[in-house]
Chain A
Amino acid sequence: MLEDFEIVAGVEVHAELATKTKIFCGCTTEFGGEQNTHVCPVCLGLPGVLPVLNRQVVEYAIKTGLALNSEIAEFSKFDRKNYYYPDLPKNFQTSQYDLPICLGGHVEIEVDGVKKRIGITRVHMEEDAGKLVHSGATISTSDVSFVDYNRTGVPLLEIVSEPDLRSVDETVAYLEKLVQTLDYIEVSDCRMEQGSVRFDINVSLRPKGSDKLGIRTETKNLNSFGSVRRCMEYEIERQAEVLSEGGQVIQETRTWDEGRGITLSLRSKEEAHDYRYFPEPDLVPMVIEREWVERVRERLPELPDSRRERLLELGLSAYDAGVITSSKALAEFFDAALDKFKDPKTLANWVMGDFLGLLKAKGIPVQSSPVKPEGLAELLNLVENGTISGKIGKSVIGEMFESGKGAAEIVKEKGLVQISDTGALSGIIDKVVNSNPQSVTDFKAGKERAIGFLVGQVMKETKGQANPGLVNKLLKEKLETM
């Protein structure tokens, strides 16, 4: 049944901007904090207050527009979006309607090796609402509800895509790319678990080969790529079922019930709000000077695509390059380490293996890693020049995470320097050979594997400090003379 239809999807992304203060007042945007402590008369919308636009918000919007290949408007303004909800202290949201700051643009995605360009319709600035805390499950089933206004007035960017997405994979790839870009240009913390990025998914189906758009539904407020995937899969199947039975999809706003894994109707088109948009009279329109845009463009950091391209040229696999460039912090870590340790492939193996593994185990982000890029490079140089073995290296990096000490310091303190001294090793080899006559016999009988056991014994005797290549060589020489 699904194979008869083509999926048409578009996404609205709301991203909280990483400014220090709110969009229209000086309150902190810091997440958390005791309820209703990050507030002032302005963000509380008290009678008589007026908004003053935070310039940094406009700069971040410009930066985002440039990163998404949008046109930055020369003239832009704010509008009021009027609707009643108790988390909205003024009962209107100051947003942008017909003259958004960024128009057009696109993002490149790649799904199963196929590249595709996804269009951006617009990017606009707006303020976030507060947070409701209910005594029950929902506002209508609660005896009492409370409002926390800490988040009220936190700046948001709304990024609207064209209906260019044709599958769940494309949608998720687009969102990943978008979030990755916002992270690279450092306009948003992109902390999904804190709700700093939220997605509204518009999806409709049409018979394959048709160029008419089907009736769409919009599912609001998803906050992880996983939920987007599950929600879309459910919604596509639901719509396909309706259509296959000859029914009609109802144009409506839906909500995702994560627990039950289903979407539910929130309000129909008839019940849709009439937002009565009109120009915000308390703010003057913005004339965005081209010199400003150019200054922002000059300071724009390297974007994920070009960074990934650079890593591929260094000889990394597509997979490795993808993982390393998935976050700006990791990509920068890699580059900084590469500055001091010149083998990209070995570095990539260590970064993606032990380094990320330890970070994950400890639940710390790359930025706050106790092991800095120079530290990792120092360790890898010790391995490469044979001062320590790779195996010892793995224990040293663990120690570096624990103690915060440098690799050379740990190696020195613990006496982990690799034994590459032939004289020192031959005594141990003699001892091992003498106490394992069976292995010697096996080796002589042509069982090549027996040497592995003997090498292992030598490593054990030296607590892993012996140079394994050298041990192998010396052992072979010894056995051949026997």
Chain B
Amino acid sequence: MDLTQLTAHELSDLLASREAGAVELVKAFFARIDQVEEDVKAFNIFTRDRALEQASKVDDKLARGEELGPLEGIPMAFKDNMCTKGVPTTCSSKILKSFVPPYSATVVEQLAQAGSIMLGKLNMDEFAMGSSTENSAFAKTCNPWDLERVPGGSSGGAVASVSADEVAFALGSDTGGSIRQPAAFCGVVGLKPTYGYVSRFGLIAFASSLDQIGPLTKDVTDCALVMNAIAGHDPKDSTSAPVDKPDFTKSLINDVKGLRIGIPREYFGAGIDPEVDKVIRQAITKLEELGAVVEECSMPHTEYAMPTYYLIAPAECSSNLARYDGVSYGYRAPESGDIVSMFKKSRAEGFGPEVKRRIMLGTYALSSGYYDAYYLKALKVRTLIKQDFDQAFEKFDILLSPTAPTPAFKFGEKSANPLAMYLSDICTVPVNLAGIPAISIPCGFAGGLPVGLHLMGKAFDEGTLLRVSYTFEQNTEFHKVKPSLGVK
């Protein structure tokens, strides 16, 4: 039995039955990492010693006959934009290469509390800006299904690590699709929770009103377990919703009979790969067979989602990233002379081209004389997009679309054309603008590459998403197919 191929809940069962120990798990995953990481390049840094130390404490607990929590002793990793006290947190940017946070993000604390074991920090597009992880200042993470292809982004390292069995699960962040699009590209389960459900405290901000942390897992059950650990109100995050969190595993019900699923036709427009379209249609048929009621619908403002997103996200980013100036932490350009040159040179040398592009877009959109025409207009359109969803949810329990219009593309295929790259998030971006939850689950293959099924739900109704996902998963085998990587 290869331990690393198992899901978190399967590993947890092994620990509970004393068939495996926590140190054994950590060693197994590091062995796997040693085997495949050279090809995948998912990690920015490893925390091996720390992990072994934590694992031996879990083993002590086991030896004392104590019961473990559902994620206790389970090896995992964080996208490198979540602050980890004493462990470098870089956002895969030169400007934060030397940054070691003196505090931990709430999610990091929560998982430490749950007893999960961090193996390291995961590569990403610089500051979570990108859809291929090619914008990392450090390395290009490869898609475990085809090393010539991107893993998607911006949580590319996180999904690749899960897909390549380097960890049992990971946490990613999603501003416009950064959990779901790579989850689709690498064939894993990725949930972007409702805005405000998971604390953003300690998540290095890209666009504050859109960012949300979520789980990347090998199956839907693990997704529910991780949500149980990380969802809930955090007094340190004023935008975190003051709601009680349910037990998400209660939604793992294998039944969708009578559930109403809307298929917004705007999500199947030009640019969708015919094979992806076919796979999604098959998934729809499958859900119908399982008893769901499926109907096509329209979300008329969908076409404005991309321009709206590319005003709001860069505007917020231009302000959020202003703090990287070389004054008290991070990269400072040497020999700058005066303060203004220090600011300019540190930022010019510290940020990559995509980050600069977005800072400039956002600065422009917020400038006096342009604010009303761009930023304010975008806020108004955002409300219209939200209303599209509100109306659709009067009729449907969930909405369904492909996660991405194409399967994983090749390195360099879109990096020269930012607009083409942006369009790979066309199905995921409206969800962030509306603040609702959405999940991507494996639903088939196109040309041998995984395809993701995108399910969108009502705010704080992750339960229905999990239920539909679980039902689909229980009645298909796609999530069990592993990339051939490392099985040379």
Chain A residues in the interface with B (C-beta under 8 A): 41, 44-53, 80, 82, 84, 86, 89-92, 139-140, 145, 147, 274-278, 281-284
Contacts and interface: CB of A to CB of B under 8 A. Distances in A.
A277 B237 CA distance: 22
B371 interface: yes
A281 B202 CA distance: 15
Given A46-B102, A47-B99, A50-B236, 11 more contacts: A46-B329, A48-B82, A48-B202, A49-B202, A50-B238, A86-B327, A274-B368, A276-B367, A277-B371, A281-B207, A282-B208
B89 interface: yes
A274 B103 CA distance: 33
Contacts of B105: 48
A147 B328 CA distance: 9
26 contacts: A47-B323, A48-B83, A48-B89, A48-B205, A50-B236, A82-B318, A82-B322, A82-B366, A84-B322, A86-B327, A89-B328, A140-B339, A147-B327, A147-B328, A274-B368, A276-B363, A276-B366, A276-B367, A277-B366, A278-B316, A278-B319, A278-B366, A278-B375, A282-B238, A284-B238, A284-B239
B228 interface: no
Given A47-B99, A274-B368, A278-B366, A52 B319 contact: no
A50 B319 contact: no
Interface string B366-391: 11100100010000000000000000
Contacts of A53: 238
A398 B257 CA distance: 92
Nearest to B330: A47
A89 B327 CA distance: 8
Nearest to A280: B208
Contact of A281 (B101, B204, B209, B318): B209
B91 interface: yes
Is chain B's binding surface mostly helix, strand, loop or mixed?
Answer: loop
Nearest to B363: A276
Interface of B: 81-83, 89, 91, 96, 99, 101-103, 105, 200-205, 207-209, 235-239, 315-316, 318-319, 322-323, 325, 327-329, 338-339, 343, 363, 366-368, 371, 375
B235 A52 contact: yes
A90 B91 CA distance: 17
Given A276-B366, A281-B208, A47 B322 contact: no
A48 B101 contact: yes
B82 to A, nearest CB: 8
B322 A92 contact: yes
Contacts of A47: 83, 89, 91, 96, 99, 101, 204-205, 323
B328 A48 contact: no
A92 B315 CA distance: 13
Nearest to A273: B368
Nearest to A278: B366
A452 B337 CA distance: 80
Nearest to A91: B322
Contacts of A275: 368
Contact of B319 (A41, A51, A80): A80
A47 B102 CA distance: 10
A90 B316 CA distance: 13
A50 B322 contact: no
B369 to A, nearest CB: 9
Contacts, number: 103
Contacts of B103: 41, 46, 49
Given A51-B238, A82-B319, A84-B322, A44 B328 contact: yes
A86 B325 contact: yes
A76 B446 CA distance: 51
Contacts of B237: 50, 52
Contacts of A274: 367-368
Nearest to B89: A47
A274 B371 CA distance: 11
Nearest to B379: A279
Contacts of A52: 235-238
Contact of A50 (B200, B325, B327, B338): B200
B363 A46 contact: no
A283 B209 CA distance: 10
A47 B202 CA distance: 7
A89 B330 CA distance: 13
A80 B208 CA distance: 13
A227 to B, nearest CB: 27
A97 to B, nearest CB: 11
A284 B368 CA distance: 24
B343 A84 contact: yes
B160 to A, nearest CB: 23
Contacts of B238: 50-53, 282-284
Nearest to A283: B238
Contacts of B203: 48
Nearest to A80: B319
Contact of B338 (A44, A90, A140): A140
B102 to A, nearest CB: 6
A282 B201 CA distance: 10
A42 to B, nearest CB: 8
A145 B339 contact: yes
Contacts of A51: 238
B315 A278 contact: yes
Contacts of B96: 47
A91 B99 contact: no
B268 to A, nearest CB: 32
A46 B101 contact: yes
A282 B205 CA distance: 10
Contacts of B318: 82, 276
A312 B219 CA distance: 81
B181 to A, nearest CB: 23
Contacts of A84: 322, 325, 343
B371 to A, nearest CB: 7
Nearest to A86: B327
Contacts of A139: 339
A89 B326 CA distance: 10
A283 B200 CA distance: 12
Contacts of B201: 48-50
A195 B371 CA distance: 35
B307 to A, nearest CB: 17
Contact of A90 (B202, B207, B322): B322
Contacts of B202: 48-49
B366 A41 contact: no
A47 B320 CA distance: 9
A37 B217 CA distance: 42
A90 B368 contact: no
Nearest to B327: A86
Contacts of B316: 278, 281
Question: Which residue, of B207, B236, B327, B363, has the highest number of chain A Cβ atoms within 10 A?
Answer: B327
A190 B103 CA distance: 35
